[in-house]
Amino acid sequence: MGISLLTATDWRRAVHEMLGQASRRVRLREDALSDQNWNETQLAPALKNFLLAGPQRRAEFLLADTRHVYAHCPALLDLLAHFGHLIEIRLQEEEPAPECYFLADDEGFLLRPSADNWNARYAPRDRHAAAPWHLHFEAAWKRAGAGIPARPLGL
């Protein structure tokens, strides 16, 4: 069923919570990250902590537009430079679905109907309800083009 969230702050709080609970992989499908505040909130440190907790952890971001990341997310770009082997950001070249979602492992999901609608559904432990979103992400991920390249430090 899930919990309803109504604001961008609720969304960020839920993403932060899911990063703390995930043990293998997190995935984000978003338009541009422009409303996520990855640089001004605790999301970047939470992502770093998630990645540091184990060598098999992965973070996959599928964005319709990466320009905001380059212009306004130096903390996320810094993580990409340090953890390029664990983080991948791809560009969704096809017309993206309106839904934005965050997925944790195989069971948690956070879903909102569009980039500008924060009325989200949060289900941290609902494998059955999360399954279609994982399949949707996987299909879009395979079709996505190159996004933001990881740049090793010092190069």
3-class DSSP state for residue 97?
coil
Mean pLDDT of the chain, nearest integer: 87
- What is the pTM assigned to this prediction? 0.89
pLDDT of residue 86: 95
Compute the distance between CA of residue 46 and CA of residue 7 in angstroms, rounded to an integer: 20
pLDDT in tens, 45-90: 999 999 999 989 999 999 988 888 888 888 999 999 999 999 999 9
CA angle, 107 then 51 then 40, to 5° = 95
Domains of the chain: 3-148 (3.30.870.10)
Which residues are CB-neighbours of 57 under 8 A, at least 6 positions away?
22, 23, 24, 25, 50, 51, 86
pLDDT of residue 152: 53
The parts of the chain modelled with pLDDT lower than 50 are 155
Q: For residue 62, give the nearest of 101, 16, 4 by alpha carbon.
A: 101
